[in-house]
Amino acid sequence: MLLVTTVIWGATFPATKAALEQIPPLSFLCLRFFLGTLVVGLSLVVANRVIERGRPLLVASAVATAFLFLGYVLQTVGLYYTSASNSAFLTALYVIFVPLFLRRWGGRTLLATAGAVAGLWLLVKPSMEMNVGDLLTIACAAAFAGHIICLERFTRCYDAWSLLAWQLIAVTLLFVPLASWEQVPEGAFEPTPVLLIGLGVTGVLATGAFAVQLWAQRLVPAQQVALVFASEPVYAAWLSWYFLGETLDVQGWIGSALIVASVVIGALADQSTATVPMIADSR
């Protein structure tokens, strides 16, 4: 299921890239998360579920939201100062940060992580020059790693639907003032097919993928989740190649194959590094 969600995450890249030709990035993110909040709200109504509001759950949601929001903001601002290839490569460094923060290293985990990083390098071809945008994007990777780690713990303690809903609500509210600062060109919010498809992929499908991630992280260790998500640039490159006509040379195909192989190796990681104890419900 995580591999399926990663295909959807990868699809958000070409969909967002096309939509950003019409609408500024922060305004698009605000609309995306607002639509995601509506989708989750409607799903809760249909399923006749009530969002839990216990203080520990709200605190956990706030912590996870802080990492998620910080990751998106740092990635967006960093992309303004650096290249798209550097942004894609450096963002995916959460594949290193997650096991590093958790101190979960084993033979296969090390091999898979090294293979994924090498594959990312071949696929996106980042430059060796470092600037402020690169530093912000590295910080963004650390923030996304923190979010993955938070979900590993919190999904074992609290209701996943409530955790999802509160994060989406909080991120949407945080993006509203940021989006209002942007200079929005005329016609930016016009419901064109490109914008509607972009919002459908990112606001509806990606929200569903986020829900699956919360469910899966009750069962899959964070370092394996990070490895699976390292295949996101692969799917993004393949989908951009197929739908947008972007080129993908031999080096890119080799790099993407190396990442996929690393994900398979990571799925067979040592039991000592893969096993995560279940945490008792603290409600």
Q: Locate the DSSP E strands across the chain.
A: none
Buried b (16+ CB within 10 A) or exposed e, 230-256: bbbbbbbbbbbeeeeeeeeeeebbebb
Q: How far is residue 207 CA from its own chain's centroid?
A: 11
pLDDT tens-digit readout, 11-30: 787 788 788 888 888 899 99
pLDDT at residue 147, rounded to an integer: 95
**Sequence-distant (≥ 6) Cβ neighbours of residue 282 within 8 angstroms:** 56, 157
Q: Is residue 175 part of a domain?
A: yes
Q: Is residue 280 part of a domain?
A: no
pLDDT at residue 60, rounded to an integer: 95
pLDDT tens-digit readout, 219-232: 888 888 888 887 77
What is the rounded average pLDDT of the residues 7-14?
A: 79
Q: Is residue 282 part of a domain?
A: no
Q: Is residue 155 part of a domain?
A: yes
pLDDT tens-digit readout, 118-153: 887 887 777 767 788 888 988 999 999 999 999 999
Q: What is each CA distance from 26 to 32, 34, 142, 175, 179, in whole angstroms? A: 10, 12, 21, 7, 5
Q: Is residue 279 part of a domain?
A: no
Would you say residue 7 has pLDDT above 80? yes
Residue 34's domain comprises: 2-274
Would you say residue 159 has pLDDT above 80? yes
**CB contact at 8 A, 207 and 31:** no
CA triplet 255, 16, 231: central angle to 5 degrees?
25
pLDDT tens-digit readout, 48-100: 888 998 999 999 999 999 999 999 888 878 877 876 667 777 888 888 889 88
Q: Count of domains in the chain? A: 1
Handedness of CA 80, 117, 71, 235 (dihedral sign): positive
